Structure 1
Amino acid sequence: MGWLTFVFFHKKKDRIANDTISNTSLDEVVVTATRSPRQLSSLPMPVTLISKKQLQQAGSVRLRDILLEQAGIVMVKDNGNSEGVQMQGIAADYILILIDGLPIVGRTAGNIDLNKLTVNNIKQIEIVKGPASSLYGSEAMGGVINIITEQPTTDRIKSSFSILTRGGAMNELDINANTMAKLDRLSFVAGINLNSSGGFDLTTETPENRTMYPYQNYTGNLRLGYTFSQHLEAFVSGRLYHQEQNTPFSDNLETDWNWNTMFKHTISDTWSFDYTFYATRNKTESVFNGETALYNRSLLRPEIKTTLSVSDRATLIAGLGANYDALARTSFESEKNYEAYYVFGQYDFNPLEKLNVVIGARFDSHNAYESAFSPKLSTRYEITDWLSTRGSVGYGFKAPDFRQLYFNFRNTSSGYVVFGTETIHDLYAGNESIEYLQKQLKPESSIGYNFGFQIQPLNNLSLNLNVFRNDIQNLIDTYEVNEFLKDAYVTELHAEEIGLGKGTRIFSYRNINKVYTQGVEVKVNYKINDNFKILGGYQYLDTGDKEEEKLIESGTVFVETDVSDVKLTLFDYFGLRNRSKHTGNIKLFYDNYEHKFSANVRALYRSKYAIADTNNSRGIIDKYDTFVSGNLQINAVVEKELYSLFKLQFGVDNIGNETGSSNADVDAFQVGGVVNDAVLLLGRTFYGRVTFNF
């Protein structure tokens, strides 16, 4: 399978007598980590920046594919087969996804579908690892991924226009068009992406279940800016995503839009205000057997932020805002609403010439759960010109979501139901045993530690080492409540009264004790010479549930093996499901400036992991379980510039066609009544691109 891409690119420039541009290399600037512009190398916390050049070199068009190539980032599927991004072993529920600093809504089982986010019109992607709730609140407990879109920043380029198309890959057609202009005080960026697929199947053994069913979608974005004076600027931006997909089982329609209005008021050279009003909505409708399932979530967020340069060595940021969150869902009795109000502050200063300290905190007050206070302290010290150390400790939290409080999902044909904590207390109000069930869930919380070194022993070699630990408390977990309702007769009688059959299994949610993730991450950047450069990354990850460890230490957990029953020890314990102990990548880039030719090879590795307990060891993942085997994916791209007019690019993703076929004898895992394929279904993909410059 393959595709071919064509790009038309046009720029209109000012006629300037001397149009030379300095080639001085500037340190990359990021804004996500501190909500203010900072040089990447000077930050006291672990941050990854993916530049536009890296996006173009990879040849990818979807955010998911770009993130897969970053050290310590893994894409994992849950029991419902939805996919999300995992960082430092922390699940997608706790990773905040932003576009230009503003959140995306519309999670499926806690996961944002990253395939619907095109890299069209992206300037750079910034990834902050570890708790970031001190600036961003809930869902940033494990980190933040911020997608920064393009905006005109120079008067030298008056306008630009580009068109990119690709087609053929797994029956896919992708078309991008972008335009950018700056006219006196007015600037704008606009783009559209059209994407469709006829569907494909990588599992011919099960023709009734295709890997991907046909779909078609489009994404449009617009950003306008106007400068009223040197003290006042206004920006408005919007994004619209629409997708239709039909399968033999259902017809699905999804619409996602957001709109943001911001005024930047500069009081003086040292003091400014940002006034923001953001609105977004995600609506999904699925029709199955004539019945419509609806998911309709909206978020309104007004916010005021001020930035004050106290001195040449100190900057203060403070702000306040509110979240008005609403969700209407078929499995809810009625529309549910959240209201949250927050204040935050951050002081970034240099008490010594070589010491940078960032102190931040945020307080969130909510109408449906306990308030949360999220402090964070980060420091960086330059020991020598080539060695510096950095460390951070922060508190993160995640609010209980609508589903965990108000769910009323009934699958009576399979003999089970899932109720949110508020719902089950309403339904079982007459049962005296209801007091055994938790009603008000606490926010999940974590303390994250990151400590590392930045080393540059040579001008052409740099290394980053980071050691991390995340302790998560009050983790919200699903559990079966029947046994807690004590009297089986009362349970079954009451079940009939609320429309359930006798013997129906009833599930709800509760806070449980601690889990942890910890490990080491190493990143290397080595410029061999003017033509060759190597980038590498590796993460070792250790995870565990402290309650499971106590259970193993009690000596009461046994597993059946081919030889005999084995009592588990901590040495046998593997950790949390869907976590690989080893992940890594190595990338080789070659540039031949004389012949205007470039190429790169990128290898990505993930070691074995377990989807679920397969040997009835009380839900514990151990070395005797069935694992999905480790896999190695190799991608390559070659590019040639011809006559200074256009570039040809050809690439292959997953050259070895890694599919996880070593697990074929496993067939599938049975997890909570849901079958999960053991085969990885990566597939091999060819693509090409032609870029014209005028």
Structure 2
Amino acid sequence: MKPVFSIFAAFSILLWSGQSQLFAQRDSIATSSLDSIRISDQQFKTSDIDEIVISGTMKAVNRLESPVPVEVYSAAFFRKNPTPTIFDALQNVNGVRPQLNCNICNTGDIHINGLEGPYTMVLIDGMPIVSSLGTVYGLSGIPNAMVERIEIVKGPASSLYGSEAVGGLINIITRNPQQAPVFSADVMSTAWGEYNADVGFKIHAGDKASVLTGLNYFNYQNITDDNHDHFTDVTLQDRISVFQKWNFRRRENRLFSLAGRYVYEDRWGGDVRWNPSYRGGSEIYGESIYTGRAEIIGMYQLPVKDPVFFGFSFISHNQDSRYGDTSYIAHQNIAFGQVTWDKKYGKHDLLAGAALRYSFYEDNTAATAHEAEQTWLPGIFLQNEMDLASGHTLLLGARYDFHYHHGSVFTPRLAYKWSLNDTSILRFNAGTGFRVVNLFTEDHAALTGAREVIILNDLKPEKSYNVNLNFIRKIYLDTGSSLALEASAFYTYFTNRIVPDYENPQSIVYDNMNGHAVSKGLSLNADLNFARGLKLILGGTFMENETTVNGQRTQQMLTEKFSGTWAASYKIRPWNLTVDYTGNVFGPMRLPLAGELDPRPAMSPWWSLQNVQMTFSGFKNFEVYGGVKNLLNWTPGRHTPFLISRTEDPFNQQVEYGPGGQVIATPGNPYALTFDTAYMYAPNQGIRGFLGIRFRLDQ
């Protein structure tokens, strides 16, 4: 790995070097958190196609002007490595990692800078639509035809977005129906037998409305057991999703947008002999999950003089799961409404708002044995963005929320932007975050039945304190090439942190830790645009996520200390051919062993997923693409004697226990283990080819 560190060391030195000129126009498909700039008669100015972002300040602003750093990734960026879900697509974003949490059903969440999925808020068009149960299942089935771009903010955003926006937020911006193509289609299959179809089309409903519809269908039914443990390596899935968005024309161009999505998924994994007749039984082990999920989101601008908006969302999530003979049946409704008022007064740009979230949750576990959990979470917030002087912008904000059980929660925020010159911008952000916990909807390991769940005390909301320093620099080289660089340092301090304890192989213990946790690190990004058609996007994140209890520091489970991503694109114009080489690399992380005698490694090795794609665009309205995923054919099973412990005895019928309830070693169980699926950190899917075709009709 020495070459990797050498590259980033050289990059760090270059970032702070003083000799540079402003970077020319960036390629529109290779967007990151850096702004598009173009040259005009040797004068440098912001181009007309600069991205407008909303996630950092909850209002539409140019990325160059935003005091909060926002990373933006276009739909074309994700086409460099086509995937059937947004969950998988985020694997090539620096500092963002899709984490699989189950070795059988392959559910997972999104880590930002090493923080687990429950610390990340996911929104669609600015509305919190993916949370709790949706953190695990809601990122599947969002049709790619509907996605315009994805905005990512790293670090707490609770002062604007409330609970769950502790580690950061991911905002999926869908297409404007008026600007979308009339028809688009993207169909792909892989050598493993995966089939994905994505279709979008728009119509005009009279003179007052435009309607965009997206359909996604994914199917994988190929039972594969390359690691020979008699369990499926990859979960079988059958999923269909329908998304529709309406934009209504109103007087004075006031906004009214309404969208809805429904997704149904049937997924299962387990013993290769399993079929639906064994569902819920104790004869052949299988994990079968039926998911039905409906979402409605909308934004309405009130007919008043000042910009006043009412945003709303509603989620209904129904899940019927069987983990062997353990049943988990859950129903969750989340209703959200928010009013915002934007007012400019001299050098002040004010944003005020009030929000209300209602959550209903009921399942068949002890969590809601007596009554369903119902939570009202009202909040108000105020933000003031001020121009202090030329090149200096200050943002002050605060939010107050009231939880019926935990009481008042106050989250302040500060952001400062200093434009040092025409080529460099420095941003400083500080703030607090909070998260109200519902672990039964967030931790899949607590639902499998493989371990007993123990909650020691009444869990208190987690709180965080965060600072972030961001520096960007744009460089134009005399050769006609261009370079855009970015560095971010981040530090987050947690109190009341809830860290699941896996040390006892028979249980998972939850409690607010008697100590604190720290997440800190450095993130580096580079966009290189060479004059001869080669484009590079490089990223690396060095981080530490540690917990300290009674003075003892411990690396957080399932968190790497280094991750890197890259995307290299080269266009051979005479052949209408584009070659994309994408990949990532991750450092070692602590893994949850199932006992003191467990022979599996306690730390993961360095690992990398790499892909290559070729796209031919010589046909009118058509693109044909194909390539290879996981070029190195890397899978975690190569470095361990087994991944799932005791697949031969998934119901623990042959496990023997000692007087204290501990598992004891026997000739049939020499490592004193029970059946456990928590040892998981990377996909089991090996090398595979893929082939697809895209069609787009604009008129």
Output the TM-score relative to the length of structure 1: 0.79
Which AA in structure 1 matches 2:549?
A: E
Q: Which residue of 2 aligns with 1:133?
A: 158
Give yes or no for contact 1:191–1:222 (8 Å, CA) kept in 2: yes
Pick from 365, 387, 390 the counterpart of residue 350 of structure 1: 387
Q: Which residue of 2 aligns with 1:308?
A: 343
Alpha-carbon RMSD across the aligned residues, in angstroms, is 3.4
Q: Give the match's secondary structure for 2:118.
A: helix
2:418 aligned with 1:381: yes
- Aligned 1:256-271 pairs, distance under 5 A: 256-265=293-302, 267-268=304-305, 271=306
Q: Give the match's secondary structure for 2:78.
A: helix
Q: State the distance in 1 between where 2:552 and 2:287 align.
A: 43
Q: Give the match's secondary structure for 2:304.
A: strand
2:565 aligned with 1:531: no
Pick from 599, 603, 609 the counterpart of residue 627 of structure 1: 603
* CA drift at 1:287: 4.8
Q: State the distance in 2 between where 1:392 and 1:203 align.
A: 47
Give yes or no for contact 1:106–1:297 (8 Å, CA) kept in 2: no
2:139 aligned with 1:114: yes
Q: Which residue of 2 aligns with 1:688?
A: 691
Q: State the distance in 1 between where 2:342 and 2:447 align.
A: 50
Go from structure 1 to structure 2 and tell me whether the alpha carbon gap of 1:390 and 1:202 turns closer, same or farther (over 3 Å shift). Answer: farther
Q: State the distance in 1 between where 2:202 and 2:676 align.
A: 47
Q: State the distance in 2 between where 1:233 and 1:27 align.
A: 21
Go from structure 1 to structure 2 and tell me whether the alpha carbon gap of 1:252 and 1:581 turns closer, same or farther (over 3 Å shift). Answer: closer
Q: Give the match's secondary structure for 1:267.
A: coil
Pick from 372, 378, 383 the counterpart of residue 409 of structure 2: 372
Q: State the distance in 2 between where 1:531 and 1:105 align.
A: 38
Larger deviation, residues 279-288 vs 121-130: 279-288
Q: State the distance in 1 between where 2:111 and 2:361 align.
A: 25
Go from structure 1 to structure 2 and tell me whether the alpha carbon gap of 1:344 and 1:652 turns closer, same or farther (over 3 Å shift). Answer: same
Pick from 184, 195, 209 the counterpart of residue 186 of structure 1: 209
Q: Which residue of 2 aligns with 1:603?
A: 583
Q: Identity over aligned residues, as a percent?
A: 18
Q: Give the match's secondary structure for 2:80.
A: helix
Give yes or no for contact 2:513–2:549 (8 Å, CA) kept in 1: no
Give yes or no for contact 2:150–2:171 (8 Å, CA) kept in 1: yes
2:275 aligned with 1:274: no
Which AA in structure 1 matches 2:123?
A: L
Q: Give the match's secondary structure for 1:120.
A: helix
2:224 aligned with 1:205: no
Output the TM-score relative to the length of structure 2: 0.78
* CA drift at 1:184: 3.2
Give yes or no for contact 2:594–2:674 (8 Å, CA) kept in 1: no
Larger deviation, residues 288-297 vs 115-124: 288-297
Go from structure 1 to structure 2 and tell me whether the alpha carbon gap of 1:82 and 1:109 turns closer, same or farther (over 3 Å shift). Answer: farther
Q: Which residue of 1 aligns with 2:516?
A: 514
Give yes or no for contact 2:222–2:236 (8 Å, CA) kept in 1: yes
2:48 aligned with 1:48: no
Q: State the distance in 2 between where 1:611 and 1:291 align.
A: 25
Q: Give the match's secondary structure for 1:338.
A: strand
Give yes or no for contact 1:479–1:510 (8 Å, CA) kept in 2: no
Pick from 613, 617, 635 the counterpart of residue 659 of structure 1: 635
Q: Which residue of 2 aligns with 1:317?
A: 351
Unaligned runs of 5+ in 1: 1-22, 421-436, 483-503, 553-572
2:183 aligned with 1:152: no
Which AA in structure 2 matches 1:451?
A: L
- Aligned 1:487-636 pairs, distance under 5 A: 509-547=511-549, 550-551=551-552, 575-612=555-592, 626-636=602-612
Pick from 344, 361, 383 the counterpart of residue 327 of structure 1: 361
Q: Give the match's secondary structure for 1:586.
A: strand
Q: Give the match's secondary structure for 1:220.
A: strand
Give yes or no for contact 1:106–1:112 (8 Å, CA) kept in 2: no
Go from structure 1 to structure 2 and tell me whether the alpha carbon gap of 1:647 and 1:293 turns closer, same or farther (over 3 Å shift). Answer: closer
* CA drift at 1:76: 2.4
Unaligned runs of 5+ in 2: 1-45, 275-285, 646-670
Pick from 239, 243, 258 the counterpart of residue 265 of structure 2: 243
* CA drift at 1:90: 1.2
2:496 aligned with 1:474: yes
Which AA in structure 1 matches 2:430?
A: V
2:321 aligned with 1:299: no
* CA drift at 1:117: 3.8
Larger deviation, residues 520-529 vs 179-188: 179-188
* CA drift at 1:337: 0.5
Which AA in structure 1 matches 2:567?
A: K
* CA drift at 1:508: 5.3
| Larger-gyration structure (1/2) | 1
Go from structure 1 to structure 2 and tell me whether the alpha carbon gap of 1:245 and 1:70 turns closer, same or farther (over 3 Å shift). Answer: closer
Q: Give the match's secondary structure for 1:546.
A: strand
Give yes or no for contact 1:95–1:141 (8 Å, CA) kept in 2: yes
Give yes or no for contact 1:82–1:109 (8 Å, CA) kept in 2: no
Which AA in structure 1 matches 2:331?
A: N
Give yes or no for contact 2:217–2:241 (8 Å, CA) kept in 1: yes
Q: Give the match's secondary structure for 1:71.
A: coil
Which AA in structure 1 matches 2:241?
A: T
Q: State the distance in 2 between where 1:109 and 1:278 align.
A: 14
Pick from 107, 112, 123 the counterpart of residue 98 of structure 1: 123
Which AA in structure 2 matches 1:190?
A: T
Go from structure 1 to structure 2 and tell me whether the alpha carbon gap of 1:471 and 1:188 turns closer, same or farther (over 3 Å shift). Answer: same
Give yes or no for contact 1:478–1:510 (8 Å, CA) kept in 2: no
Q: State the distance in 2 between where 1:438 and 1:663 align.
A: 38
Q: State the distance in 2 between where 1:666 and 1:598 align.
A: 40
Q: Give the match's secondary structure for 2:79.
A: helix
Go from structure 1 to structure 2 and tell me whether the alpha carbon gap of 1:96 and 1:169 turns closer, same or farther (over 3 Å shift). Answer: farther
- Aligned 1:27-46 pairs, distance under 5 A: 27-46=50-69
Larger deviation, residues 103-112 vs 392-401: 103-112
Go from structure 1 to structure 2 and tell me whether the alpha carbon gap of 1:250 and 1:515 turns closer, same or farther (over 3 Å shift). Answer: closer
Q: Give the match's secondary structure for 1:203.
A: coil
Q: Give CA-to-partner distance per residue, 1:102-127, whole Å, 9 cap, x none.
A: 22346459645634444331100111
* CA drift at 1:684: 1.7
Q: Give the match's secondary structure for 2:89.
A: helix
Q: State the distance in 2 between where 1:111 and 1:647 align.
A: 32
Q: State the distance in 2 between where 1:240 and 1:643 align.
A: 34
Which AA in structure 1 matches 2:170?
A: I
Q: State the distance in 2 between where 1:234 and 1:108 align.
A: 28
Which AA in structure 2 matches 1:627?
A: M
Q: State the distance in 1 between where 2:216 and 2:224 align.
A: 24
Q: State the distance in 2 between where 1:370 and 1:380 align.
A: 34
Q: State the distance in 1 between where 2:327 and 2:635 align.
A: 35
Larger deviation, residues 504-513 vs 650-659: 504-513
Q: Which residue of 2 aligns with 1:225?
A: 247
Pick 1 or 2: higher relative contact order, CA cutoff 8 A, min separation 6: 2
Q: State the distance in 2 between where 1:289 and 1:604 align.
A: 34
- Aligned 1:60-71 pairs, distance under 5 A: 60-71=83-94
Number of residue pairs aligned between Structure 1 and Structure 2: 597
Give yes or no for contact 1:275–1:305 (8 Å, CA) kept in 2: yes
Go from structure 1 to structure 2 and tell me whether the alpha carbon gap of 1:679 and 1:443 turns closer, same or farther (over 3 Å shift). Answer: closer
Q: State the distance in 2 between where 1:186 and 1:517 align.
A: 47
Q: State the distance in 1 between where 2:57 and 2:514 align.
A: 32
Give yes or no for contact 1:577–1:612 (8 Å, CA) kept in 2: yes
Which AA in structure 1 matches 2:560?
A: S
Give yes or no for contact 1:61–1:120 (8 Å, CA) kept in 2: no
The structure with the largest strand share of the pair is 1
Larger deviation, residues 111-120 vs 576-585: 111-120
Q: State the distance in 2 between where 1:99 and 1:116 align.
A: 13
